[in-house]
Amino acid sequence: MMKKHLFVLLALLALVSCKEVKFQPRPALPLVHVLAADSTGTARLVAQSGTRGGEGSIAIIGDPEAAILLARRFQGSDHVDNIDGRPQRDSLPDFAGETFDVVMDACNAPYDRFWESARNLADTLRQNVLDSLREIAVLNAVNAWDSLCWRSVTDAEPLLRKQRAKMLIFTSAMQARWGVFDVDTLQQLCGGNCPVLSPVHSMLDQAYAAGARSLAVWTSRNVRDSGAWQEVFGQKGYADAHLTVLAPESALDIRTELRNLLRQYRETGRVLDALLIDSYTADLSPLRSELDLIHHEGTDENAAFQAMLSPDFFLVDPLSSLVGTTYALMRERHMFSHQIAWPAIHYYETAVSDEGAALLVETSASYAINTYVPNRY
């Protein structure tokens, strides 16, 4: 298949190239209003989203590798009692009976390429590129809410049926800034009520709820410079909290990268309560091992790091955070299917028709795994 790439309020201080970053409110995309005006088609579809209780799937949308890894984490999760929600295993998957639709956005991911393309453009051209990223989120949401999908990019019309999504999870920090707002606005205009989650919202809320007030994010250079985390944090209105976004130089050993990040954070002069790791593939075991070493090996640098890390310092990762947030939200809103069955995963890949329309094509599990995560399973 030929893939086509679609290149299509609070002010706060954050450590991003040592400059102040300011954000302005923005209107919804014209596409949102066009779709909302389609009362016999898309608007009716959106209006029904999130209104069917436990019926429907949980759509995971984004970079294929991240979406697959998150779906597999959901499938294997057993951390709570399914009867009363207590935090203890009961040998029954936490999401028993649920269906996860993995929307692998092969056409557009990784999304930080949009910032890479836009960062040096004039304001209007840069906005056009980033608006295309917002449009992608809206179109992927609509395809997730639809009950039809394509069998092949060569089909003249969708021929396959799938479940409609009752919840959307966008895996990318970039779409947390460029996309989630527009998807929510479309729902507000149409009367839909489908929860929309992102790792940025989930991880920030988790850290803040746990008492962390000095937060650091470990992410890539492009995501750091885009201001994605900083804007969402600003919208949260945490007046008593600080956020520092860091992108340490890559190294052969993740332990070395961690130390580079801690050195950068020391320059803020603040105690660090929580480190949010913006990666679905990071191995937390060596990070925890290195943190343990810092607390027990008596070197001058380790002593300085110990003084910088709060007694209750903790790590937050997107996989665990999104699984926990999703479970709590579904329990609160009575969204579980209540079926006794192993959680199911269905795989879909974005594509573009010859006419330029965004399509969702069903794929097999073997294709998805072998194409995007062959060395992990």
For residue 373, give the amino acid letter.
Answer: V
C-alpha to C-alpha distance for 137 and 181, rounded to whole angstroms: 10
Q: Is 200 helix (H, G, I), strand (E, B) or coil?
A: helix
Q: Is 8 within the bounds of a domain? A: no
Contact 156, 146 (CB under 8 A): no
pLDDT at res. 203: 98
Element (H, E) at 50: none
Residue 4 pLDDT > 80: no
C-alpha distance across the termini of the chain, in Å: 24
List, for residues 10-61, the tens digit of each pLDDT value: 222 222 222 333 333 458 899 999 999 998 899 999 999 988 888 999 999 9
Global pTM value:
0.91
The pLDDT > 70 percentage for the chain reads 93
Q: Which residue segment(s) compose the domain that 191 sits in? A: 24-198+319-372
Residue 85: band (very low, low, confident or very high) from pLDDT cuts 50, 70, 90: confident
Element (H, E) at 40: none
CATH number reported for the structural domain that contains residue 244 in this entry = 3.40.50
Q: Is the peptide bond before 110 cis (omega within 30 degrees of 0)?
A: yes
Residues 236, 275 within the same domain: yes
Domain count, the chain: 2
Element (H, E) at 187: helix 180-190
CATH number reported for the structural domain that contains residue 30 in this entry = 3.40.50.1860
Residue 168 pLDDT > 70: yes
Residue 329 pLDDT > 90: yes
Residues 168, 247 within the same domain: no
Contact 276, 248 (CB under 8 A): no
